[in-house]
Amino acid sequence: MAGNRARRINGEMKKVFSEILQTEIKDSRVSVMTTVVRAQVTNDLSYANIYVSVFDTDRMKKSTLIALNHAHGFLRCEIAKRLNLRKVPELRIFEDDSMAYSAKISKIMDEISVKDDGADDEQ
């Protein structure tokens, strides 16, 4: 798939999935603090990897992912209605933990900075 077309489909898939998540999903297991981080469609349009971030408890994160994966047929049908694609990809929904990873790295960097400041004071 051409690079520009892939980016366009990825962007549209992310936008449409977000809209469906906000307007159509009424499941109480899905956290209201769920955000679609990115969508990545394979070159042959067989699969769409959807990465979501859930700003809630670990229990709600698991619950949200289970509910979204359980509703993948409904979600795929809604995407088919809204996107004009010849072939609608099979959805695979994953948790995106890049925010937590970034916070962890930031914390480590702060700790290193504090240790370096303390070493400079001793000399």
Q: Which CATH number fits domain 3-97: 3.30.300.20, 3.40.50.150, 2.30.30.790, 1.10.1040.10?
A: 3.30.300.20
What proportions of the chain, in percent to the nearest 5, are helix, strand and coil? Answer: 55, 20, 25
Q: What is the pTM of this model?
A: 0.79
Confidence at 118, pLDDT banded by 50, 70, 90: low
The CA distance from 123 to 121, in Å, is 6
The predicted model gives 18-27 an average pLDDT of 93
Residue 120 has pLDDT above 60, yes or no: no
Listed by start position, the domains of the chain span 3-97
Distance between CA atoms of residues 15 and 72, nearest Å: 16
